A and B are shown apart, each in its own frame.
Chain A
Amino acid sequence: MNKLQKVLRKRSKKLLNIYLTAGYPNIDNTLDILYALNEQEVDLVELGIPFSDPLADGLTIQQSSEMALKNGMSVERLFAILKMADSDRLPPLIAMGYLNQMIQFGEEQFIKDAKDSHIDGLIIPDLPMDIYQRDYQDLFRKYDMGISFLITPETSNKRIQSALELSNNFLYVVSSSATTGGKGGFSLSTMDYLKAVQRIETEIPKLVGFGIHDKTTFEAAVKYCDGAIVGSAFIRMLQKSNDYHKDIATFVEKIRT
């Protein structure tokens, strides 16, 4: 059982997954930020591999990706940085990237290098489930690489079942019909949706993403699901921060307590 799976098995806890765009705000501090998040005992971290055309992302993550690319971040560079990391100080890691990046790097090489870089799971939002099954599932198995598929309020029951069958880390529950980066509170229909998601029976944890930006939205998500992913709000905090260590501690504490 890898580090990530151990954390995901602890279902009693409200899992906090922080999203970070790799290479933002600088290439040099990606590892430092990961170490700091680990010190705060964040349960897992989703590293966004910056992409020029992130379709599913709102303005904050778009801009952080653009900046990270300007800083010189790339798939190759990211893997090189992570391979040099002190793995004991890294939190459990998953990576989020778009399919084009994986194809261009070479799919098998990508999965292998990701694994060697302490990444135990991938999220590839534009990889359809049927293509995954046909072309990639064996490769993921070969390298013990996990994957999480997304469901949204529009996803049919049949597709939810497929997503559950194929996902082996956690199920990614998109809170509402929107791109990432929502700042408001949850609407009644989002709450109803999360209640419905609670009733889905599954072995794997359900993590809610999109629009989780403060204690209120985090609490609302974990009331019905097993954890939540905080992304844009974390990036916005980094944008303003002069002291990562202190501000990351405060940020995590504010969401958790």
Chain B
Amino acid sequence: MSYNVDDKGFYGQFGGAFVPEMLYANIEEIRVNYRELLKEKNFLSQFNALLKDYVGRPSPLYFAKRLSQKYQTKIYLKREDLLHTGAHKINNTIGQILLAKRLNKTRIIAETGAGQHGVATATVCALMDMKCIVYMGEKDTIRQALNVGRMRMLGAEVIPVTSGSRTLKDATNEAIRDWISNPKDTHYIIGSAVGPHPYPDMVAQFQSVISKEIKTQLLQQTGSENPDYVIACVGGGSNAAGAFYHFLEDKNVGLILVEAAGKGVETDYSAATSVLGSIGIIHGSKTLLMQTSDGQIIEPYSISAGLDYPGIGPMHAHLITSGRAEVFACTDQEAIKAAINLTRLEGIIPALETAHAFAMLEKRKFDSGDTVVLNVSGRGDKDINTYLNNIQYE
């Protein structure tokens, strides 16, 4: 079985491009160009140069000694939090802005939940002198106010979305509607490994630099390029796709996804798609999603705006249902506790999204000899208020 995308844009039964005709031409333009482009020398050298000199790649792979002691295993942290703008999201926006330039687009739209993707998009738009419009759920503009400020300072127009649940799903709907209305000059930079084919694959490929570096760095540090496990949090699935990419077909490497359980999977306040979801179509992709028996998409809940998505990328739906990946769900409180724990042990404040991945360490025992790589998808600056409001110091 292959875990990568097939010719038709599917991962097993998941994926595809279920879009209205109004979007067909846009998607098709990207589909016929992206594979070629991703092989083109010129494009790759531009992409890699920007990742190195502008973004600050390679990001370190850091052996977390005290954390390893606590969990009695060998934990390595892939430090995407140290990248320019503070999260892995920039890997994808650099790639897509170069694609947009190549397609002669002049206007960029994006959706954002935590604001990290919005900031990463606004950043590359400033860099490349492109008009930038970011759709963000009204609720998220409040809980991630700092990132709204950053986007505005970078010159982006941030449009608060008031439809539906006023979070990430609705921001994505609004971005898609904008694209329907502006098909010629606009490129839509999706922020996760979601949406119609070829987006999930394209985003995964732009993020795949993460696992490529992990291989090189692990080889240098341990003498073996493959870890026993890779752990990543999953909202739509871009940081996980990047961290898993070069290990997908290598079954000796265990893949672990961590979803947001919110207040608990048994409550009405959760975003644990793999537990609560069923097969359906969301944002043009056939995948697992949270929905009613009538096929209405359910509002998820998580304290973390970046994991507050009712679906999951098609690659991950396939990894989970085929048994290739293990999946865990961690609650708001478990994530906050894990963030404090990491901060005090290693002096690293993770993003709330990433904190969920750390919380998983409490739920599964690893052997003392295991090499475990945890993808630190982002830093916690944007979440300080949420942390402070939820932490009781003794």
Contacts and interface: CB of A to CB of B under 8 A. Distances in A.
A74 B295 CA distance: 9
Given A128-B18, A128-B19, A159 B280 contact: no
A69 B22 contact: no
B169 interface: yes
Contacts of B278: 104
Contacts, number: 105
A76 interface: yes
- The residue among B21, B25, B169, B280 with the most chain A CB atoms within 10 A of its own CB is B21
A174 B22 contact: yes
Contact of A56 (B22, B25, B26, B279): B22
Q: How large is the interface on B (under 10, 10 to 19, 20 to 34, 35 or more residues)?
A: 20 to 34
B294 A98 contact: no
A155 interface: yes
B16 to A, nearest CB: 7
Given A51-B296, A151-B21, A178 B282 contact: no
Given A62-B163, A101-B294, A55 B176 contact: yes
B42 interface: no
Interface in A151-178: 151-152, 154-156, 159, 163, 174, 177-178
Contacts of A66: 163-164
A255 interface: no
Given A69-B296, A103-B279, A128-B18, 15 more contacts: A51-B296, A53-B282, A55-B173, A55-B283, A99-B281, A101-B294, A104-B294, A125-B21, A126-B281, A126-B284, A150-B22, A152-B25, A155-B24, A155-B25, A174-B21
Interface string B263-285: 00000000000000011111110
A149 B22 CA distance: 11
Contact of A100 (B20, B164, B281): B281
A59 B164 CA distance: 11
Interface residues of A, number: 39
Interface string B154-189: 000000000110000100010011001111100000
A52 B296 contact: yes
A69 B165 CA distance: 14
A179 interface: yes
Interface of B: 16-22, 24-26, 163-164, 169, 173, 176-177, 180-184, 278-284, 291, 293-297
Contact of A75 (B281, B291, B294): B294
A101 to B, nearest CB: 4
A62 B181 CA distance: 16
B177 A100 contact: no
A53 B283 CA distance: 9
B294 A74 contact: yes
B295 A179 contact: no
A127 interface: yes
A151 B25 CA distance: 11
27 contacts: A52-B297, A53-B169, A53-B282, A55-B20, A55-B173, A55-B177, A56-B20, A56-B177, A58-B177, A59-B163, A74-B294, A76-B294, A99-B281, A100-B280, A100-B281, A101-B294, A102-B295, A104-B293, A126-B19, A127-B18, A128-B19, A150-B21, A150-B22, A152-B25, A154-B183, A159-B21, A179-B177
Identify the 10 closest CB pairs spanning chains A and B, nearest first: A104-B295, A154-B25, A101-B295, A125-B20, A52-B296, A150-B21, A74-B294, A100-B281, A100-B280, A56-B20
A98 B19 CA distance: 10
A131 B284 CA distance: 13
A150 B20 contact: yes
Contacts of B176: 55
Contacts of B181: 177-179
Contacts of A125: 20-21
Nearest to B25: A154
A77 B183 CA distance: 37
